[in-house]
A and B are shown apart, each in its own frame.
Chain A
Amino acid sequence: MGGFLLRKAGAALIVVFLSSIVVFIGIRALPGDPAVALGAENRDPAVMAAIRHSYGLDKPLPVQYVKWISKALRGDLGLDSRQLPVGHTIVTRLPITLELAFLAVLVGTSIGVLAGVIAAVRRGKLSDHSATATALVGLSVPHFWLGLMMIIVFAVDLHWLPASGYVSFRAHPLGNLEHLLMPALVLGTGLSAVLMRQTRSAMLNSLSADYVRTARAKGLSERMVVGKHALRNSLITVTTVIGLQLGALISGAVITEQIFVIPGFGRLTLDAVNERDYTLLQGVVLVAATGYVVVNLLVDVAYSLLNPRIRVSGASNQ
């Protein structure tokens, strides 16, 4: 098992390294000379050269990269256009999005897994058909539009929930949940549709497996068979799907935060583009890509804990 995880961690490290190069080159491909921007009015060649020298812009790209990445590893992502440290801004915004994502995953898995299990157990019955149809609708509906509809109904018409904004959990726990309820539903239902379909087919597979027949043959109650044997094996699929859906979750957080005016990581990303703040953008994208890789590494760890076969035979697979 140690070997398997070590290989996975090694691969993740390579991916993070390559991603950081992509981010570095991407930012260098942006139009405009940073020295011109920093020099403001002054276009004197000597001043420009001095600026380039003091920021290390006259050095070859690999040297600039090493300097940038070694600072980033120490948490120094540079200063944004307002001269604020980018690392600090990200650290203050990230918890808001993490809370939103956590609630969304909670909503998504509870609805998705439950509906998937029910549909598989009652295969071909009315509850299966309605759950499958709902999942198809859930896959086809644009979730940010669902958010707008929720605002119209629950905020504009009924005045039950605030339409936008955010208060921290520590300052006002109930207000915090009120503000995050609709965003978490919007973000979570998208996940639940995907999860429902995957859980259903995984459950159908494991329900027809030999060990489930054995469990039934030895007289276990249907609840034990479904809950303990079939579901546990289907959860392996569910873990993988959540890892793969993380990209969609990041994209979803950006637009959800935009609609509900939540000052999280997603809005920070859009602000960076709209204000053409490239240092900020660089830091945000680097953190997002690294976070994606790290979470998927954790998914692999969870995967190998849930599935003993992976620890032995999985090492030989890609």
Chain B
Amino acid sequence: MGFVDASSTLINPRARRRRLLRKRFLRRPLAIVGLVVALTFIVCAIFAPVIAPYSASATDFNALLAHSSRHHLLGTDELGRDVLSRILWGARASIEAGVFSTLLAMAVAVPIGIIAGYYRGWIDAVIARLTDVLLAFPFLVVAVGLAAILGPSLTNATIALGIGAAPALIRVARGEALALREEDYVRAAVANGASDVRILIRHVLPNMLSTLIVQATVAIPAAIIGEAVLSFLGLGVQPPTPSWGVMLADAQSYLSQAPRLAVYPGIAIFLCSLSFNLLGDGLRDILDPRTTR
């Protein structure tokens, strides 16, 4: 490190904080493993057409329910489709559902939660009751309803997962806003005559960002498992589009003949959600000093 570098970090508190966080993150090997594995799954999802040895729907009738071999590393399913390729393609639905449902939940929950916590009073009470109503409908029931009204699809499953994740996020955002509104810098901004919108966007939102990032990292693996559940039940991704949940549903008929068909997709779901959970635990440790572990 040169002299210039050191002085610039001393001058800029943001850069100093960022460097401190990076240093703390690098001291957690499990969080790094989580980050690397999660990124691998994301890369697989994006570049599935390039990486996968076969197309997800290409059938090979000379190799039905085939064992692992040089041609098919993880064997083939009952239609002779390459299992490895289908798992790589299946990452798309999982990552899509995980990321987009979490973004949807954030977009809905954070503004509502901030308004409830910042303004308190009757608006807080109304939002609390509406959150209770949302909680009374578990994501599977919402998904069942959406599938009945709009028909089953990945998009509707994602919406159901987003609605399911929203109540918890509303409560987190509300709690943070409730604490932040008492901070000196928010009071100073009020005294300076800043508008409510400016205070909420410039002062309240940025200061709850680290908590929200941790919450998002924990919501993603839950949504990934949720997508698998919905696709397994036929309420999500529709065959022939590959999805880990659909693969498990298909494998159910071959549990005694070819149990491996049920093993591999499950391991993929497990590793994918474990990686995000490891990353989330690590981020919580470095970003949120209040939680003791």
Contact = CB atoms under 8 A, between A and B. Distances in A.
Contact of A18 (B129, B144, B274, B292): B129
Contacts of B291: 201
Contacts of A136: 274, 277-278, 281
B229 A144 contact: yes
A174 interface: no
A112 to B, nearest CB: 17
B137 A145 contact: no
B256 A255 contact: no
B108 to A, nearest CB: 16
Query: Secondary structure at chain B's binding surface: helix, strand, loop or mixed?
Result: helix
Interface in A223-253: 244, 247-248, 250-251
B225 interface: yes
Query: Secondary structure at chain A's binding surface: helix, strand, loop or mixed?
Result: helix
Interface in B228-256: 228-229, 232-235, 248, 251-252, 255-256
A205 B292 CA distance: 9
B262 A152 contact: yes
A11 interface: yes
A273 B132 contact: no
Contact of A156 (B125, B129, B133, B256): B256
B1 interface: no
A281 B146 CA distance: 12
B147 interface: yes
Given A140-B270, A142-B266, A148 B145 contact: no
B144 A142 contact: no
B148 A156 contact: no
Interface stretch (A50-58, A67-75, A209-217, A287-295): A287-295
A152 B137 contact: no
Contacts of B138: 247-248, 250-251, 288, 292
Interface stretch (A23-31, A86-94, A308-316): A23-31
B144 A151 contact: no
A201 B252 CA distance: 38
Contacts of B248: 144-145, 148
A255 B229 contact: yes
B23 to A, nearest CB: 23
A251 B160 CA distance: 12
A274 B137 CA distance: 19
Interface in B246-285: 248, 251-252, 255-256, 259, 262-263, 265-266, 269-270, 273-274, 277-278, 281
A318 B140 CA distance: 28
B255 to A, nearest CB: 6
A258 B149 contact: no
Nearest to B168: A244
B141 A269 contact: yes
A220 interface: no
Contact of A270 (B145, B233, B255): B233
A47 interface: no
A141 B133 contact: no
Q: How large is the interface on B (under 10, 10 to 19, 20 to 34, 35 or more residues)?
A: 35 or more
Contacts of A16: 136
B63 interface: no
Interface residues of A, number: 52
A22 B281 contact: no
Contacts of B259: 152, 156
B281 A156 contact: no
Contacts of A247: 135-139, 164
B149 A30 contact: yes
A14 interface: yes
Contact of B133 (A18, A163, A281, A318): A18
A243 to B, nearest CB: 10
A19 B229 contact: no
Interface string B107-136: 000000000000000001100111011011
Contacts of A141: 266, 270, 273-274
Contact of B274 (A29, A137, A293): A137
Contact of A251 (B140, B149, B265, B293): B140
Interface string A194-209: 0000000100110000
Contacts of A15: 129, 132-133, 136
A149 interface: yes
A254 interface: yes
A196 to B, nearest CB: 14
A251 B165 CA distance: 13
A1 interface: no
Given A247-B164, A272-B144, A278-B148, 15 more contacts: A22-B133, A140-B273, A141-B273, A145-B248, A201-B292, A251-B139, A254-B140, A254-B233, A255-B140, A273-B147, A273-B148, A273-B235, A276-B148, A281-B145, A318-B125
13 contacts: A15-B129, A30-B149, A139-B273, A142-B269, A144-B229, A144-B232, A148-B252, A201-B292, A251-B138, A251-B229, A270-B233, A272-B144, A288-B138
Interface of A: 11, 14-16, 18-19, 22, 26, 29-31, 136-137, 139-142, 144-145, 148-149, 151-152, 156, 163, 201, 204-205, 244, 247-248, 250-251, 254-255, 258-259, 269-270, 272-274, 276, 278, 281, 285, 288-290, 292-293, 318
Interface of B: 124-125, 128-130, 132-133, 135-141, 144-145, 147-149, 164, 221, 225, 228-229, 232-235, 248, 251-252, 255-256, 259, 262-263, 265-266, 269-270, 273-274, 277-278, 281, 291-293
